[in-house]
Structure 1
Amino acid sequence: MKSVLLIGQSNMAGRGFLQDVPMIYNENIKMLRNGRWQMMAEPVHVDRHIAGVGPATSFAQAWTEDHPGESIGLIPCAEGGSSIDEWAVDSVLTRHAVSEATFAMETSEIVGILWHQGESDSHGARYQAYEEKLISLFNHLRKELNAPDIPIMIGELGHYLGEDGFGKNAVEYKQINQILFNVAHAENNVYFVTAKGFTANPDGIHTDAVSQRKFGLRYYEAFSKQMHVLDVLDMEHEWIDKEAKRELTKNERIFVQSKKFALGQMSFEEFSIRVSHINESE
């Protein structure tokens, strides 16, 4: 199985509202929980009780479309509100990410790293030391994972920052974005992913769910083609519509019913009847 390490702050962990997009269910997408690979369900991250839609799910869904019958695992290690200093090579977050990735490597091959962070460093001239710290982190991860050529995809900060809500304080996001762009173009196997055209939740700092779906597709475009993604993808809108109509497999349909039963949305009798119908339809 292939796997991908997810690191950064809240827009990698995901804060898109779960009700704003159709959920993605795919038995070939796994997530690492308590040392085990479980079938993916959103939210993938649990760094906060308000975690929601992030970019990793549509990234993984696009990956499975190109690799039918194969599985991909998501290793969630992003932490909301974290600064670049909290991703220093000896920090708790970095040590945790290395530990989780190392554990995942026992049963999978890590083929990429998805990074999105910088909102917390978009004020107070923190950008002046950002580039050196980011490169140091990337070099450290590659060394610790014994993966010197592993591709790293870095997402641009939302262009909506600096205007409203909690995002109003991120007045230096353009400087951070320029650094992300420069690092991606200077370092080997590091690819820049644009946030062009994205919109935010009402809080002004978190990328909304629809934009996160598009972000994941752009991350995958960068990963699969090993290139920078500098503009909107032509297929973004139609992809979201197409995925909403995707016919679920038997296991996926049972998973959905199990989730509804566990959340108290149906009785055990109703759950049993629905699962029986699913089994009989196969």
Structure 2
Amino acid sequence: MRIFVLSGQSNMSGRGGVHRRHWDGVVPPECAPDPSILRLSAALQWEEAREPLHADIDTTKTCGIGPGMAFARAVLPRLQEDTPGAGTRTGIGLVPCAVGGTAIREWSRGEHLYEQMVCRSRVAAGYGEIEAVLWYQGESDADSDADTGAYLENVERLIGNVRADLGMPQLPFIQVALASGNKRNIEKVRNAQFSVNLPNVVTVDPMGMALKEDNLHLTTESQVKLGKMLAEAYIMNFLTATC
């Protein structure tokens, strides 16, 4: 399997289609199940990936559509094209780790969320190669000037720690720049995200995509678009470089 870690906060875990704490159950064709796409459950078992991907991970809020399935379905054909050997069928393993409402300090080495992400990633790595971490987080760090000012240092430390703890110094990170929120520091966090100066880090920008009425979470349609955007970033920056 080709393994992808999905981490961050609520826009990665997915709130598409969630209204008044209930998910509408609508799954776009781009997010439909595929036997070649699996997810690592909270119990560390592989199962066919189905929306909502984070339902047993981000358990304090209602999960809906996120970018993970749309990403996997967009990437899968390219991975299968590029896999040598007659009769070989490439599978994708998704490792959901995102939890809504979390600040980046909660993803520091030694904190529960960080250690859980690393543990789940190590388990997944026993079944294939970890291809990339998809990271969408930062809304919570726009709450205060202090958190905003420390964001660049914290996100670069996070990337370095994950790479070190997984023994993958060049592990690709594809991060999503903030696209929502009414907080005064959103542009400062975005600037920090675009200022990350580490190899194999790519930032995609969904700014302008449709938001739900809360002006914070991406709609289902926007999550599908974001998934495809993440897939394009992976294919253009990392898949083609290894083929």
Q: TM class by shorter-chain length?
A: 0.7 to 0.9
Provide the rounded CA distance (Å) in 2 between the counterparts of 1:175 and 1:57.
30
Question: Could you tell me which residue of structure 2 aligns to residue 204 of structure 1?
Answer: 215
Provide the rounded CA distance (Å) in 2 between the counterparts of 1:57 and 1:218.
12
Question: Could you tell me which residue of structure 2 aligns to residue 21 of structure 1?
Answer: 28
Question: Could you tell me which residue of structure 1 aligns to residue 63 of structure 2?
Answer: 51
User: Does the CA-based 8 Å contact 1:16-1:207 persist in structure 2?
Assistant: yes
Q: CA deviation at 1:217?
A: 0.9
Q: How do 1:34-183 residues align onto structure 2 when only pairs under 5 Å count?
A: 34-46=43-55, 47-48=58-59, 49-68=61-80, 69-125=89-145, 126-158=147-179, 160-162=180-182, 170-183=183-196
Aligned residue type for 2:14: G
1:208–1:20 CA distance, 2 compared to 1 (3 A)? farther
Which structure has the larger Rg? 1
Provide the rounded CA distance (Å) in 2 between the counterparts of 1:21 and 1:36.
25
Percent identical among aligned pairs is 32
Runs of 4+ with >6 A deviation: none
* Paired residue secondary structure (2:7): strand
Provide the rounded CA distance (Å) in 2 between the counterparts of 1:124 and 1:35.
35
* Paired residue secondary structure (1:176): helix
After TM superposition, the structure 1 stretch with the greater mean CA deviation from structure 2, 83-92 or 46-55, is 46-55
Provide the rounded CA distance (Å) in 2 between the counterparts of 1:80 and 1:180.
19
Aligned residue type for 2:50: A
User: Does the CA-based 8 Å contact 2:178-2:207 persist in structure 1?
Assistant: no
What do the CA deviations read for 1:183-234 (whole angstroms, capped 9, x no partner)? Answer: 1xx210000101132111112111111111111111111111118xxxxxxx
Provide the rounded CA distance (Å) in 2 between the counterparts of 1:212 and 1:83.
21
Q: CA deviation at 1:81?
A: 0.3
Provide the rounded CA distance (Å) in 1 between the counterparts of 2:27 and 2:73.
18
Q: CA deviation at 1:161?
A: 2.1
Provide the rounded CA distance (Å) in 1 between the counterparts of 2:26 and 2:172.
32
Supply the RMSD in Å over aligned alpha carbons.
Answer: 1.4
Q: CA deviation at 1:53?
A: 0.7
1:143–1:176 CA distance, 2 compared to 1 (3 A)? same
Provide the rounded CA distance (Å) in 1 between the counterparts of 2:151 and 2:177.
14
Provide the rounded CA distance (Å) in 2 between the counterparts of 1:78 and 1:226.
23
Q: CA deviation at 1:67?
A: 2.4
Provide the rounded CA distance (Å) in 2 between the counterparts of 1:127 and 1:45.
27
What do the CA deviations read for 1:224-259 (whole angstroms, capped 9, x no partner)? Answer: 1118xxxxxxxxxxxxxxxxxxxxxxxxxxxxxxxx
Question: Could you tell me which residue of structure 2 aligns to residue 233 of structure 1?
Answer: none
1:20–1:2 CA distance, 2 compared to 1 (3 A)? closer
Aligned residue type for 1:15: R
Provide the rounded CA distance (Å) in 1 between the counterparts of 2:155 and 2:10.
17
User: Does the CA-based 8 Å contact 2:11-2:66 persist in structure 1?
Assistant: yes
Provide the rounded CA distance (Å) in 1 between the counterparts of 2:234 and 2:217.
23
Question: Could you tell me which residue of structure 1 aligns to residue 83 of structure 2?
Answer: none
User: Does the CA-based 8 Å contact 1:153-1:219 persist in structure 2?
Assistant: yes
Aligned residue type for 1:54: G
Q: CA deviation at 1:20?
A: 6.8
Q: TM-score w.r.t. structure 1 length?
A: 0.74
* Equivalenced residues, count: 217
Question: Could you tell me which residue of structure 1 aligns to residue 12 of structure 2?
Answer: 12
* Paired residue secondary structure (1:113): strand
Aligned residue type for 1:80: G
* Paired residue secondary structure (2:101): coil
